Structure 1
Amino acid sequence: MGYKHTEFAHDRMVDLLGKMRQIDRMWELVEKMNQEGFLTLKTIAKVMRRLAGARRWKDVIEFFDNLEYMGCVKNTEVMNLLLDTLCKEKRVEVARETFLVLKNHIAPNAYTFNIFVHGWCSIQRIDEALWTIQEMRGLGFRPTVITYSIIIKAYCNQLNLAKAYEILDRMVAEGCIPNIITYTTLMNLHAKSRQLDEALSIVDKVKSAGCKPDTLFYNSLINILGRTGQLSEALHIYEVEMKMNGVHRNTSTYNTMISILCYHKQWQNALNVLEEMKKSLCMPDLQTYRPLLKLFFSEEELDVQIHSLLNDIVIKRHLSFDLDTYTTLIHGLCRVGNIGCATTLFDEMIDREIQPRRRTCNMLMQEVEQRNMYHYVEKIWNFTKHS
Structure 2
Amino acid sequence: MKAGPPSNLLRLQLQPPPPPSPAAEVSSLTTLILASQNPQTLAQTLHCPTIQWTPHLVNSILKRLWNHGPKALQFFTLLSRHPSYTHHPSSFDHAVDISARLRDFRSIWSLVSRMRSARIGPSPRTFAIITERYAAAGKPHRAVRVFLSMQEYGCFQDLHSFNTILDVLCKSRRVEMAYNLFKALKGRFKADCVTYNVMVNGWCLIKRTPKALEMMKEMVERGLSPNLTTFNIMLKGYFRAGQLNEAWDFFLQMKKRDFEVDVVTYTTIIHGFGVAGEINRARNVFDRMINDGVLPSVATYNALIQVLCKKDSVENAVLVFEEMVKKGYVPNATTYNVVIRGLCHAGEMGRAMEFMRRMKDEEECEPNVQTYNVLIRYFCEGGEIEKGLELFQKMGSGDCLPNLDTYNVLISAMFVRKKSEDMVVAGKLLIEMVDRGFLPRKITFNLVLNGLLLTGNQGFAKEILRLQSRFGRTPRQFKP
Q: Which bracket does the TM-score occupy, shorter chain normalised?
A: 0.7 to 0.9
**Following the alignment from structure 2 to structure 1, what is the Cα–Cα distance between the partners of residues 376 and 84?**
52
Do the aligned partners of 1:51 and 1:59 also contact (CA within 8 Å) in 2? yes
Which residue is equivalent to 1:190? 273
Specify the code of the residue in structure 1 equivalent to 2:92: H
Q: Which segment is superposed worse, 207-216 or 340-349?
A: 340-349
Q: RMSD of the TM alignment (CA)?
A: 3.9
Which letter does structure 1 place at the counterpart of 2:98?
L
- Is the contact between residue 51 and residue 60 of structure 1 (CA under 8 Å) also seen in structure 2? no
- Picking from 19, 35, 42, the partner of 2:125 is 42
What is the CA-CA distance between 1:9 and the residue it aligns to?
2.3
TM-score calculated relative to the size of structure 2: 0.63
C-alpha separation between the residues in 2 aligned to 1:109 and 1:7? 29
Q: Aligned partners of 1:101, 1:374: CA distance in 2, in Å?
A: 56
**Distance change >3 Å, CA 289–CA 58, structure 1 → 2:** closer
TM-score by length of 1: 0.75
Distance in 1, matches of 2:135 and 2:380, equals: 43
Alignment counterpart, residue 190 of structure 2, candidates 95, 102, 107: 107
CA-CA distance at 1:198 after TM superposition: 1.8
- More relative contact order in 1 or in 2 (CA 8 Å, sep 6+)? 2
Match of 2:336 among 254, 258, 267: 254
Q: Please tell me the residue identity of whatever aligns with 1:237.
A: V
The match for 1:275 among 312, 337, 357 is 357
Q: Is the Cα contact below 8 Å between 1:117 and 1:133 reproduced in 2? A: yes
On the 8 A contact 2:140/2:169 being kept in 1, the answer is no
Q: Is the 8 A contact 1:323 1:355 kept in 2?
A: no
With 255-264 and 284-293 compared, the bigger mean Cα shift is at: 284-293
Q: Is the 8 A contact 1:144 1:176 kept in 2?
A: no
- CA deviations on 1:199-237 (whole Å, 9 max, x unpaired) are 222211221232222222212322344563472x54343
CA shift for structure 1 position 177: 3.2
Give the deviation of 1:144 after TM superposition.
2.1
Residues in 2 aligned to 1:189 and 1:135: alpha-carbon distance in whole angstroms: 27
Paired-residue identity, %: 24
Cα 1:72–1:267, aligned 2, differ >3 Å: closer, same or farther? closer
Between the aligned partners of 1:26 and 1:134, the Cα distance in structure 2 is 40
Residue 105 of structure 1 aligns with an amino acid whose one-letter code is R
**Kept in 2: contact 1:64–1:82 (CA 8 A):** no
**1:354–1:209: structure 2 CA closer, same or farther, 3 Å change rule?**
farther
How far does the alpha carbon of each residue in 1:165-202 deviate from its partner, in whole angstroms, 9 at most, with x for none?
Answer: 23222332333333323322322332232222222222
Correspondences of 1:225-244 after superposition (within 5 Å): 225-226=308-309, 228-229=312-313, 231=315, 234-242=317-325, 244=327
Q: How far is 1:28 from its partner? A: 4.5
1:30 and 2:112 correspond: yes
Over residues 249-272 of structure 1, what are the superposed CA-to-partner deviations in whole Å (9 max), with x where a residue is unaligned? 121211222233445555443332
1:131 aligns to 2:214 (yes or no): yes
Which residue of the partner structure matches residue 18 of structure 2? Answer: none
Aligned partner (choices 219, 228, 231) of residue 145 of structure 1? 228
- The one-letter code sitting in structure 2 at the alignment partner of 1:64 is L
Q: Distance in 1 between matches of 2:99 and 2:375?
A: 38
CA spacing shift, 1:175–1:345, aligned 2, 3 Å: farther
Equivalent-residue separation in structure 2 for 1:217 and 1:93 (angstroms): 32
The Cα shift of 1:293 comes to 5.6
In 2: Cα distance, 1:143 partner to 1:276 partner = 43
Q: How many angstroms apart in 2 are the aligned matches of 1:294 and 1:52?
A: 29
Aligned counterpart in structure 1 of residue 302 of structure 2, from 212, 219, 225: 219
Paired residues of 1:261 and 1:270 also in contact (CA < 8 A): yes
Aligned mate of 1:79, from 162, 182, 202:
162
2:144 alignment partner AA: V
Structure 2 residue identity aligned to 1:26: I
Secondary structure (helix, strand or coil) at the match of 1:90 reads: coil
Conserved 8 A contact 2:130-2:143: no
Whether the 8 Å contact between 1:290 and 1:325 is mirrored in structure 2 is no
Consecutive unaligned residues of structure 1, counting only runs of 5 or more, are none
Secondary structure of the corresponding residue to residue 170 of structure 1: helix
Report the CA distance shift for 1:209/1:305 in structure 2 as closer, same or farther (over 3 A): same
The 1:90–1:290 alpha-carbon spacing in structure 2 relative to 1, beyond 3 Å, is closer
SS of residue in 2 equivalent to 1:104: helix
- Check 1:267–1:104 CA distance in 2 against 1; reply closer, same or farther (3 A cut): closer
Determine the structure 2 residue equivalent to 1:323: 408
> Which runs of structure 2 are paired with 1:154-233 in the superposition (5 Å)?
154-226=237-309, 228-229=312-313, 231=315
How far apart, CA to CA, are the structure 1 residues paired with 2:389 and 2:352? 16
Determine the C-alpha separation between the residues in 1 that align with 2:380 and 2:175. Answer: 46
Q: Is the 8 A contact 1:152 1:168 kept in 2?
A: yes
Q: Deviations over 1:132-166 (max 9, x none)?
A: 00011112222222212222222222322112223
Contact 2:204–2:240 under 8 Å retained in 1: no
Residue of structure 1 in register with 2:144 after alignment? 60
Aligned to 1:118: 201
Structure-1 separation of matches of 2:140 and 2:350: 51
Q: Deviations over 1:289-310 (max 9, x none)?
A: 466567767989x898667545
